[in-house]
Structure 1
Amino acid sequence: MALSAGTRRTVACLLVGLGALLLVAAVMIPTYTVKQLAKTPLDLEITTVATTAPDKPGEVLDATSLTSPEGSAKVDTGVPLFSQRFVTIEDPVSADVLTIQAGQTLRRTDKQGDTGLLTASIDRVTVDRKTGEPVDEVDGGPNGAIGATVDKNGQTVMDPVQHVGLQYRFPLGTEKKDYPYFDMNARQTHDIKFVEETEINSTKVYHFQQSIAPVDLSTVVNSPANKLSLPAAKWGVEGGEEPVTMSRWYTNVRDLWVEPETGTVVKGGEQIHQYYARSADKPEVTVLKGDLVFDENTVESQISVAKENIDKLAVYGRVLPIAFGVLGAIALIAGLVLGLFGSRGTPARAGGARTGTPRQTPPNPGQGQPFSEAPTQQIDISKSDKQP
């Protein structure tokens, strides 16, 4: 059934409007939605676990040996280490910034309860939700705080600390270049250098590495344990009962494997070494030494997070814009064609178009019909035969 001219115009307008709407959506989805996906979510909760390998156990100073009346400092070897970090989002938060809080503990799993706890810390930093970089300031003060000591009531003491550089995530579209990276223990920023592109469980990742030269922790955190004066014999060095003062030093080699599209840290590892020494280049008593790497469950969990975000980026960044763009173009063209060409009338048939009034046919003079009704001029024969 053919559409009337009015109906055709209505359908054409609807198609043009729908096409324009779809084309606008094709442009706006990657522009707006992908920007939202690029931001760190406000409901972020991440737990990571790193352990020493069974064939590469750690070394830990027996702290009680430093205070015992007899014997020198004792360092336990073959110690299995377990590090856990729990990341959450705290205030202040907004559309553009959020505050990341990371609580981290390090334990030796060959001892139970508090006797197995080696270190505990809390790190808090306010960052840009898009880039992951710390903001310049919070309420006119430092952008973060670190708690590594406790007061007499056992409460963590949070020291205001200005953070500079990446820490818990890399930017969307991570590049093959060096990035500034903040080390919480040294409270310093050093470049984490791009090493190579590789794969972990069939997922493309970028490998970065950061080296921290020895740092005197007594200049970083005001803690009695970071500088000790003990008899030389207790340190296990020459000098008998002569007091010897040693500082606690920290060094680290950090490796991170990052999924580049989302900036997700898929795998991490740290080669930590803390020791007492009178000089940075001559370790004398090991405090902590271990090669800690994300366990397999953590790696799989981080890969799942990365793939989920990759799929979202693909849907909103490519699939939907292309689909909406194609459908919009088709609807727009169809509407224009229908509007421009569908409004023209159907050509008239040969011999004239039919109307609602029958065509009048001149009468044909026939038998019994007066001659005068014929559509020609009459000729009076009687007059023409008379002679003048």
Structure 2
Amino acid sequence: MRTVVVVVLFGLGAFAVATGLVLQLHTHPFLAKLQHNIDNVSISEGEGVTAIVYPPGKLPELRHGLRLTATTHVEGDLAAPEVEPGGDITVWKRATLVKEEADDLVLSAEVRKICLDRRTGEAVAPCHGEFYETEQGKRMLPTGDELLHPGLNFVFPFDTERRDYSWYDTVLKAPASIQFDGEQLLQGLDVYRFVHTIPPTEIGKFEVPGEMVGLAEPSVDVTQYYGVTRTLLVEPTTGAVLSVREDIKQELRTATQAEGEGTYAFDGELRLTEASVTANVDEVKKNRPFLFVITTLPVILWIFGAVLVAGALVLLLRHRSGFLAAGLALVIGAALAGGITVGVTNASDPDSSLDLKNVVSSTNVDYGLR
């Protein structure tokens, strides 16, 4: 009877420890990847914003107290050659349209296509068809194997750390350091807060009507400066960005004006709406059972298995019989755990349900939203 107990304890212990190891070493890296078929729309809003607007058939004009809506659509490009089942690279397109609500005027628009490392979330190169566009028909393209959008762009890495990262800024067209700024609760989720502040930085020189900047001359040469304080709330296990707040300032200065003495071409805050934040949080909560399996369950199994094996080992050494049966139980338990867990993991691969051979590259992202 004691031998049976020892064999059962060894077998169950080995099964638990081996399952935990496979979940950590195989399942986590196999399944913790950005999805190819993302299709997400989010909305940011701003109140009391100062901005330049572009009425049809008229000169641009500066308006105050505007209500703005920025709609962003992120969509996976399943037709991209880099997209493969089980592959480490995915390709996402993102279109953002900023509109003034009262007269339904478009203030700005941008479209981007980027190849991303599915685990780190960082842009990678070379990337077929990568581009960045703010004026229709005028696309910014990479040269050779250069990174057009270096750093993080949409998400943080899986298992985000409490440290600084490099976040790409589309206005600067360059990455900037974004600092870990603490932890907080967001609708019941523990999240990391990341903040970066880009000081006023020169981004261009051009002519504007003198009346736009409060001068009598027909046209005036100005330098445009851009600065932003950007705050992101990130779910650390998945790296998903759940909330975004941006305090943006763009100032037009003449040659004789110092910081703050010019005319603000944009001055206001855009914040992801509560509905968009809630949708992001709900998506993470929906995946909690999956996250538990690949993060917390392995630790529980290791502890549980170690206790069983330790107990079996005490019984085995005390009675000094059943060594061969105990050894077989260890081997069989570990083998069963490995085979079952690997099989279930491979069958759970979300890429296996995608038809990547019969897709047509979407054009829905180009300056319009579904």
Same fold (TM over 0.5): yes
Question: Which digits, 9 at most, give the CA deviation of each residue in 1:190-246, with x for residues without a partner?
Answer: 11112221212222111111112333333xxxxxxx62254x4564225x44x4212
| Structure 1 position 93 matched with structure 2 position 83 | yes
Summarize the Cα distance change of 1:203–1:252 in structure 2 as closer, same or farther, 3 Å threshold: same
Please list every run of 5 or more consecutive structure 2 residues that lacks an aligned counterpart in the other structure: 326-370
Partners of 1:288 and 1:318 in 2: CA distance: 46
| Structure 1 position 125 matched with structure 2 position 104 | no
**Which shows bigger deviation, 116-125 or 87-96?**
87-96
8 Å Cα contact 1:65-1:74 kept in structure 2: no
Q: Which amino acid aligns with 1:159?
A: L
Residue 368 (structure 1) aligns with = none
Question: Which digits, 9 at most, give the CA deviation of each residue in 1:75-115, with x for residues without a partner?
Answer: 22221110111112222224111122111110111123xxx
- 2:236 aligns with one of 260, 267, 273: 260
- Kindly report the root-mean-square deviation, in angstroms, between the aligned alpha carbons of the 2 structures: 3.7
Residue 98 (structure 2) aligns with = 106
Q: Which amino acid aligns with 2:126?
A: V
Question: Which digits, 9 at most, give the CA deviation of each residue in 1:297-322, with x for residues without a partner?
Answer: 11111112222344312123333674
- 2:169 aligns with one of 183, 191, 197: 183
Partners of 1:65 and 1:16 in 2: CA distance: 78
8 Å Cα contact 1:23-1:329 kept in structure 2: no
1:221-370 aligned at under 5 Å gives the runs: 227-230=206-209, 232-233=210-211, 235-237=213-215, 240-241=217-218, 243-278=219-254, 281-282=259-260, 284-319=262-297, 322=300, 340=322
Residue 380 (structure 1) aligns with = none
8 Å Cα contact 2:21-2:298 kept in structure 1: no
Residue 375 (structure 1) aligns with = none
Partners of 1:341 and 1:180 in 2: CA distance: 55
8 Å Cα contact 1:178-1:192 kept in structure 2: yes
8 Å Cα contact 1:37-1:313 kept in structure 2: no
**Which shows bigger deviation, 101-110 or 167-176?**
167-176
**Which shows bigger deviation, 78-87 or 157-166?**
157-166
Partners of 2:37 and 2:71 in 1: CA distance: 20
TM-score by length of 1: 0.67
Deviation at 1:281, TM superposition (A): 2.4
SS in 2 for 1:131: coil
Larger RCO of the pair (alpha carbons < 8 Å, separation 6+): 2
Deviation at 1:74, TM superposition (A): 4.2
Deviation at 1:131, TM superposition (A): 0.8
Partners of 2:179 and 2:303 in 1: CA distance: 40
- 2:64 aligns with one of 77, 83, 105: 77
Residue 376 (structure 1) aligns with = none
Percent pairwise identity:
22
Please list every run of 5 or more consecutive structure 1 residues that lacks an aligned counterpart in the other structure: 3-7, 219-225, 344-388
Question: Which digits, 9 at most, give the CA deviation of each residue in 1:354-380, with x for residues without a partner?
Answer: xxxxxxxxxxxxxxxxxxxxxxxxxxx
Deviation at 1:273, TM superposition (A): 2.0
Partners of 2:231 and 2:19 in 1: CA distance: 41
Q: How many residues align?
A: 309
